Amino acid sequence: MRMTVIGSGYLGATHAACMAELGHEVVGVDTDPAKVEALSAGRAPFFEPDLEPLLRKHTETGRLRFTTSLAEAARGAAVHFVCVGTPQQPGRPAADTSAVEAVVEELAPLLAPGAVVVGKSTVPVGLAAALRRTVLAGGAEGADLAWNPEFLREGYAVEDTLRPDRIVVGADRPETVEVVRAVYADAVSRGTPFLTVGLETAELVKVAANSFLATKISFINAMAEFCEATGADVVDLAHAVGYDDRIGHRFLKAGLGFGGGCLPKDIRAFQARASELGLGRSVGFLGEVDEINTRRREKTVDLAHEILGGRVSGRRVAVLGAAFKPDSDDVRDSPALDVADQLYLRGAEVTVYDPEARETARRHSPRLSYADSLAAAVEAADLVLLLTEWAEFVAMDPAAVGDRVAHRAILDARNVLDPRAWQEAGWTYRGLGRG
């Protein structure tokens, strides 16, 4: 099937490469010429495991190409995936949907008869219906719009696209649903659940799922606050609670909290849209979810201050991790980088090391110092902070790291290290919610 994928960020570039892998003829569209040039050469402008091999494979065969011209890309295409960003508006919690609206406005008069526009961007409920009216007004006979929310996890985006756990399609016409079903025929043939819903439900699925996950994370972090006050251990608590199969262990992991380009802005945009609809009280708890998440960052900074004996200024602090999660170079709303910045503002000499996010972090926080290796980051450190749970950090040898630091003190803000092993190696070990 001939298709376009409009937007070449984390979602769009991955979706384009994976659609080519599924056998479709794909043209990716982006307004950034430098990004288009990199993608055309098979280079991803960000780190995502397994993505670059797919880009190289399909740009070399010609099944996948990129352009800045939407008019050129749209010519003869049967399906158009809209994958542009909907960031949080500056100074407001609501989502900025201007890019999505602009794309559909430009695309509508370019559609071929029977073409389907498929929205994947996360948008506030109600927008898809308005965008569908724009598509229908474009004049192409039989053209329509569907909504197909994405459920990608950064670090696993390729796997999640090629082998999704479910496919949700919101559409008003059965024939539109069948076009989208044909796009995902490979996954459907392997038994992936294919759910057909209304446009409004499709819009809500992503924000509802992210709100639930954020709530679960903040719940266990609220329990961490109780553990810190009472001497209980939140890791043991979560382990015991998670055996209830109604709850489960996934996302029940206390630590520094969530970040990135989805969960924080999605729960804020959900609250903003609820308020517009007069339903603010229905999701009012999400405000506390967000607040708990923010408090974990403040707690980490305060605990670092305590470990350093109440004097941060001039002390050398090694920060391990800058990305908001491992296997990504995304530093949007990163808890790790936020903590590093706060310690810098308190006067600490902060050195950050991240296996993949050094350059994105440097662009975001140029005032911090950055190391090219774990060994260089911890050299002569008074305190080591583990803030992103990269495998390299989880596997650290406490004795080897101890030979490089000035003081054997570590704050494990992700609760991924073995406290006993580090304590036996002479370290002062602290974790969040561990008494």
Going 357 to 360 to 362 to 368, the CA torsion angle's sign is negative
Residues 6+ apart with CB under 8 A from 167: 148, 180, 184, 187, 188, 192, 193, 194, 195
The predicted pLDDT at position 175 comes to 97
The 10s digit of each residue's pLDDT in 77-95 is 999 999 999 999 999 999 9
The 10s digit of each residue's pLDDT in 131-190 is 999 999 998 999 999 999 999 999 999 999 999 999 999 999 999 999 999 999 999 999
How far from chain centre, in Å, is Cα 31? 22
What residues form DSSP beta bridges with 385? 319, 411
CB 389 within 8 A of CB 406: no
Please tell me the class of the 198-435 domain.
alpha beta
Q: Which two tokens stand for residue 411?
A: 């704050």
CB 286 within 8 A of CB 265: no
Please tell me the class of the 2-196 domain.
alpha beta
The predicted pLDDT at position 227 comes to 96
Going 82 to 69 to 14 to 271, the CA torsion angle's sign is negative
Quote the mean pLDDT of the chain.
97
List residues with catalytic annotation.
262
Length of the chain: 435
pLDDT class of 7 with cuts at 50, 70, 90: very high
Task: Quote the CA–CA distance of 116 and 107 in Å, as a whole number.
Answer: 11
Task: Quote the CA–CA distance of 154 and 402 in Å, as a whole number.
Answer: 32
The predicted pLDDT at position 93 comes to 94
Task: Quote the CA–CA distance of 289 and 149 in Å, as a whole number.
Answer: 23
pTM for this predicted structure: 0.94
pLDDT class of 402 with cuts at 50, 70, 90: very high
The predicted pLDDT at position 397 comes to 98
Residues 6+ apart with CB under 8 A from 402: 408, 425, 426, 427
The 10s digit of each residue's pLDDT in 334-361 is 999 999 999 999 999 999 999 999 999 9
Domain with CATH 3.40.50.720 in the chain: 2-196, 198-435
The predicted pLDDT at position 89 comes to 95
Q: Which two tokens stand for residue 333?
A: 């709303």
What residues form DSSP beta bridges with 82? 6, 119
Mean pLDDT across the stretch 415-432?
A: 97
Choose among 76, 72, 93: nearest CA to 29: 72
Higher per-residue confidence, 37 vs 139: 37
| Residue in this structure with the two tokens 């050094």, named with its chain if needed | 358
The predicted pLDDT at position 201 comes to 98
In DSSP notation, 301-335 reads: HHHHHHHTTT--TT-EEEEE--SSSSS----TT-H
pLDDT at 435 over 80: no
